[in-house]
Amino acid sequence: MKLKLVSAAALMAASFGGTAAYAEDCGAVSITEMDWASSAVVTAVSKFLMEQGYGCDVQVVPSSTVPALTSLAETGEPDILTEVWANSTPSYEPLREEGKLVELGNVLSDGGVEAWWIPAYLAESNPELTTWEGIMANPELVGGKFHDCPSGWACDIINNNNLKALDAEASGLERFQHGSGETLQTSIAAAYDEQAPWFGYYWAPTAVLGKYPMVAVQVGEYDAEAHTCNGDVDCASPTFSAYPAAKVVTAASAAFIDREPAVADLMSKVSFTNAEMGDVLAWRLDNNASYDEAAVYFLTTYKDTWAGWLSEDASAKLAAILQ
């Protein structure tokens, strides 16, 4: 495995050294790196392909869903938004309809999954905890906490409104909001190490759900109207709704598409299955690898997947790098 990491590092170093050679082909491009792992992998892969295949000068902009959409709507930047979970972001569709952003494609081809989960070992020992009613009758069995996503994520607002609708706090369940996606991930790993109680929000595809078996808690049906209101921090009357099957997209500004149509075409094709992304994320987790190294793992392992994304000219340029 060390050989793979050394090869990845060497390849990334070589790529950075060759970027300037193609600088005239494409101008500056800004792209988000959302603060969760799969989006960061999408960004790292896209950055590599844009720089080495299309000669772009790529600026990575660390962000999260709500501020990134707000910035694009108000300033036209960043140029590209990676891994937007459209169904969980009420402002997304109005911005698309107004033409302030353009949907390029489904970056997770078979969609994403959002739910409330408990560890499989907890479901086995206490099957009543697989329902919301069972948890509310026994909040101490899940540690009395709901592990929630960080501020700025769309799920932050949605989960908070759902918990209000269910009057969870009055039933003895405390909302514990993590400061980052990394600490939320770590909390699941720590619970597994100790076979401890855990209950909270997570999503797929992720390395965590691949590595640590979790069971989705049955919490009711999806209600489109309620879900839309729950995505608004000022929702007047929160009503519980499960998450819908997630549409996960890459979006961009109209100005960027006009300015760099070839790169926009590339980004419309950048798409991962849940199995592919889960494998990349698990490899990164197991090897304590960087996102750049994870991108190279994907590029060297899944050549048949990304080869069809490229223009003929970009494919020729990358052939000299990726043997």
Give dist(CA 67, CA 64) in Å, integer.
6
Are the C-beta atoms of 140 and 146 separated by less than 8 Å? no
Give dist(CA 16, CA 8) in Å, integer.
12
- For 192-234, strand residue ranges (E) read 200-204, 214-216
User: Residue 277: which of 162, 116, 110 has the closest Cα?
Assistant: 110
- Which pLDDT score, from 0 to 100, does residue 1 have? 45
- Which pLDDT score, from 0 to 100, does residue 323 have? 61
User: What pTM was estimated for this model as a whole?
Assistant: 0.73
- Which pLDDT score, from 0 to 100, does residue 95 have? 93
Are the C-beta atoms of 63 and 35 separated by less than 8 Å? yes
Are the C-beta atoms of 100 and 80 separated by less than 8 Å? no
Give dist(CA 83, CA 212) in Å, integer.
23
CATH homologous superfamily of 113-230 equals: Glycine betaine-binding periplasmic protein; domain 2 (3.40.190.100)
- Which pLDDT score, from 0 to 100, does residue 19 have? 43
For the chain, list residues with pLDDT below 50.
1-7, 9, 14, 16-23
- Which pLDDT score, from 0 to 100, does residue 12 have? 56
- Which pLDDT score, from 0 to 100, does residue 13 have? 52
Name the class of domain 2-111+246-319: alpha beta
- Which pLDDT score, from 0 to 100, does residue 21 have? 42
- Which pLDDT score, from 0 to 100, does residue 204 have? 85
**So where are the chain's domains?**
2-111+246-319, 113-230
User: Residue 256: which of 270, 267, 272 has the closest Cα?
Assistant: 267
Q: Which residue has the tokens 């109680």?
A: 197
Are the C-beta atoms of 255 and 76 separated by less than 8 Å? yes
